[in-house]
């Protein structure tokens, strides 16, 4: 009897990847203070701000079963400075607001880093600042990407770090 119970318990906690069965690269996850989890992801490398939403938002209570709840930027709702290649979002709860940091390409093809702000609901409406938070440097080919928010637990000081290339040092990568 005991081996049967043990097998049943093991089967109850197993799952098969992928847990989200659509193209969902660069996921960023947040444990919600109200319970459950939110995930934001790259939108299959969105390339058209008029025809494609950017950054799907998913909800799960168990980290296995996910429901699409919306997008950070709906159709025709992208930031005015970003025209393609919306990549690598991260979602955080900071100071009573939901922040989604992301990178996007300007008309010249260079990436910049932006932040979308939501006030009451991680799946609700977000607003972009209206301009990049970190604009690409002129000594960069691609621009800043792969941003990450970090709160220093010792000091309580927030940081945003990112990667950028440097044409003055080919092959180099600055953080």
Cα–Cα dist 97/121, whole Å: 9
Residue 50 has a pLDDT of 84
Tokens of 133: 């938070």
For residue 5, the model assigns a pLDDT of 42
Residue 1: per-residue pLDDT: 40
Whole-angstrom Cα distance, residue 160 to residue 169? 23
State the pTM of this model.
Answer: 0.85
∠ CA 137-98-145, rounded to 5°: 25
Q: What is the pLDDT along the chain (175 residues), one digit of tens a residue?
A: 444 444 444 455 577 777 888 888 899 999 999 999 999 999 865 778 888 899 999 999 999 999 999 999 998 899 999 988 898 999 999 999 999 999 998 888 888 999 999 988 999 899 999 999 988 777 677 788 889 999 999 999 999 998 887 655 555 555 5
- Look at residue 170 in the predicted model and tell me its pLDDT: 56
Among 157, 36, 30, 50, smallest CA distance to 100 is for 30
């Amino acid at each position: 009897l005991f081996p049967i119970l043990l097998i049943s318990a093991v089967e109850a906690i197993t799952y098969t990847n992928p847990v989200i069965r659509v193209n969902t690269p660069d996921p960023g996850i947040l444990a919600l203070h109200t319970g459950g989890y939110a995930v934001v992801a790259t939108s299959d490398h969105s390339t058209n701000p008029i025809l494609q939403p950017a950054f799907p938002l998913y909800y799960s209570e168990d980290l296995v079963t996910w429901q699409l709840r919306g997008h950070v930027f709906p159709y025709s709702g992208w930031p005015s400075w970003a025209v393609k290649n919306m990549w690598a979002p991260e979602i955080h709860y900071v100071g009573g607001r939901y922040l989604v940091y992301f990178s996007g390409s300007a008309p010249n093809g260079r990436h910049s880093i932006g932040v979308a702000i939501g006030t009451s609901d991680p799946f609700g409406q977000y607003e972009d600042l209206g301009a990049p938070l970190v604009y690409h440097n002129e000594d960069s080919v691609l621009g800043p990407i792969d941003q990450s928010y970090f709160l220093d637990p010792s000091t309580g000081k927030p940081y945003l770090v990112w990667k950028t290339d440097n044409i003055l040092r080919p092959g180099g990568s600055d953080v």
